Chains A and B, each alone.
Chain A
């Protein structure tokens, strides 16, 4: 099973600040998906195929990476971005999620 390790586990960012969340895989994967989850709600697809934004996702978000290292970046933090973000790999069975990164507004 491929283990995904996200860092940081929690963080706080000020409005306008650049944010980077990292997801490291225990073995190489072909692509990474990202989900956003706000408290009490279902996860939403956010970034798919490593770098493609899901419908409705603001373009201040971006995704990048390859092999065992992937990242989600927010170019300028906004209040609505406060949430928990999860990475997901499906290159290898079973599908596995990262442990999540809780992003708070400072």
Chain B
């Protein structure tokens, strides 16, 4: 059974940093592109970043470039999102998602909440 379990969220002051993790199991993690998708409270879904199977290629939405860093450890089956210089508009539930060329994103984690507030 595919499982994606996010962790690392919480209440953070503006300008601070946070690192989210996503532990993957139930599939050959190193074979799949992975992504982070976020959802602000009462809002829609927003793709944030993706990373290639080996980690050598990363992609970001414009609004997070330079502040967010997606990475992966294939030995630990874990995906990461380093978030620096947090802003109030980064407040959202962050989902880890397994990429699939046919489905888009065919498995999602339960999400982790990040709240940016002083």
Give the interface of A toward B (CB within 8 A). 33, 35, 37, 42-45, 48-49, 52, 54, 86, 88, 90, 93-100
Inter-chain contact B44/A43, CB cutoff 8 Å: no
Number of A-B contacts (CB under 8 A): 52
Chain B contact patch, size range: 10 to 19
Among A42, A90, A93, which residue has its beta carbon within 8 angstroms of that of B109?
A: A42
A sample of 20 more A-B contacts (CB under 8 A), given A86-B45, A98-B44, is: A35-B45, A42-B108, A42-B111, A43-B105, A44-B108, A45-B106, A48-B103, A54-B103, A54-B106, A86-B44, A88-B104, A90-B104, A94-B47, A94-B59, A94-B62, A95-B104, A97-B44, A97-B45, A97-B46, A100-B44
A97 to B95, CA, bound (A): 14
Judged by DSSP, the binding face of B is strand
Measured CB to CB, the closest approach of chain A to B14, in angstroms, equals 25
Q: Is B110 an interface residue (CB 8 A)?
A: yes
Residues of B within 8 A of A37 (CB): 45
**B89-118 interface bits toward A, Cβ cutoff 8 Å, 1 = contact, 0 = none:** 000000100000011111011110000000
